[in-house]
Amino acid sequence: MMSWGCGAHLGDALFTLSYLLKCAGHHTLYVKEEFVRELRYLVPDTDVQVESTLGLPANAEDTWMANGKHEAQHDVYFRNQEDIVGFVHTYFNCFGKAWAEREDMLFSFPWLKPQAHRDLVLIINAQPMSGQCPGYSQEELNKLATDLTMDGQRVVRVCGEEGQHNFSLLQIACLSSQAKLIIGGASGPFFATMNTAAKDCHRIVLLDPMRLDYGPNVGPIYNARNCTEARQILRDQNYFRYLQG
């Protein structure tokens, strides 16, 4: 049994969880207390156990990606990483290779299957927590959700007008399997949608200067620096009538 610590933001915890689910043997992941319950719902009947960092053992592996742990031996540098998925792929495989291709980083939840009919536009309007997108505006993303609704689209936002989180990670993952398009900032809830049931879903992610690239068999994923660019992508791809005006 191995112990792993991730006391960082939710997105970091989800990267670690995705990695451990691909590793053989039993593993315990220690995360911030506020994330324990939601992450446990994602891993029933697996060999990964989720606990609070309040009980972090001294021998736990530190998985925080900015710790410089592998830099001397493996030339893995955290700073100025634009290809963030490539960096995470290399970084975690330094602990022991569990991901072959980038596509292997997707969650493969046995309880979640892709839906035959996908008509949902899923808006991940949760605030990114590490400054990944300086141009991110929750207000502008909420306005985009309203415009898409006026276009006759079936739209679900994961946060309300005041920023409160209305859906669990489990619910967000389930909604992603019904989505034809996912738009949002590169926050923890966004990475819950990166699963095999939503592998082929179109996505627009607000991220700058980094980009998301899970390989040629995932997506497409369009990267935007702000909602203005996200709207332009929607126009260029001829997604919706209302946004043409």
pLDDT digit string (tens) for the chain, length 245 residues? 799 999 999 999 999 999 999 999 999 999 999 999 999 999 999 999 999 999 999 999 999 887 777 777 677 777 667 899 999 999 999 999 999 999 999 999 999 998 888 999 999 998 887 777 888 899 999 999 999 998 889 999 998 766 566 899 999 999 999 999 999 998 899 999 999 999 999 999 999 998 999 999 999 999 999 999 999 999 888 876 655 54
Whether residue 74 is found in the same domain as residue 144: no
Domain containing 44: what range?
A: 2-104
Q: What is the dihedral of CA 209, 85, 95, 51, to 10 degrees?
A: 90
Does residue 109 belong to any structural domain of this protein? no
Does residue 216 belong to any structural domain of this protein? yes
- Note the pLDDT tens digit of each residue in 36-76: 999 999 999 999 999 999 999 999 999 988 777 777 767 77
Does residue 114 belong to any structural domain of this protein? no
Whether residue 125 is found in the same domain as residue 223: yes
Q: What is the secondary structure of 105-166 as a DSSP string?
A: GSB--TT----S---EEEEE-PPPSS-S-TT--HHHHHHHHHHHHHTT-EEEESB-TT--B-
Does residue 111 belong to any structural domain of this protein? no
Does residue 110 belong to any structural domain of this protein? no
Question: Which pLDDT belongs to residue 60?
Answer: 95
Please state the domain count of the chain.
2
From CA 34, how far away is CA 168, in angstroms rounded?
Answer: 12
Whether residue 125 is found in the same domain as residue 168: yes
Question: Which pLDDT belongs to residue 12?
Answer: 93
Whether residue 223 is found in the same domain as residue 180: yes
Whether residue 99 is found in the same domain as residue 126: no
- Is residue 134 reached through a cis peptide bond, with omega within 30 degrees of 0 on the bond before it? no
From CA 110, how far away is CA 46, in angstroms rounded?
Answer: 10
Q: Which residues pair with 55 in a beta bridge?
A: none
Does residue 113 belong to any structural domain of this protein? no
Does residue 115 belong to any structural domain of this protein? no
**Boundary of a domain, candidates 76, 104, 132:** 104
Looking at 31-83, list the stretches that DSSP marks H as alpha helix, in order from N- to C-terminal side.
Answer: 33-42, 71-74
The CATH number given to whatever domain includes residue 238 is: 3.40.50
Whether residue 137 is found in the same domain as residue 207: yes
Question: Which pLDDT belongs to residue 6?
Answer: 94
Q: What is the pTM of this model?
A: 0.92
Whether residue 190 is found in the same domain as residue 135: yes
Whether residue 168 is found in the same domain as residue 235: yes
Question: Which pLDDT belongs to residue 123?
Answer: 96
205 backbone φψ class: left, alpha, beta (φ>0; ψ -120 to 50): beta
Whether residue 160 is found in the same domain as residue 199: yes
Structure tokens at 153: 């689209």
User: Per-residue b/e over 45-76, b at no fewer than 16 CB within 10 Å?
Assistant: eeebebbebeebeeebeebebeeebbeeeeeb
Whether residue 100 is found in the same domain as residue 124: no
Does residue 112 belong to any structural domain of this protein? no
Whether residue 89 is found in the same domain as residue 124: no
**Boundary of a domain, candidates 104, 136, 155:** 104
Whether residue 100 is found in the same domain as residue 153: no
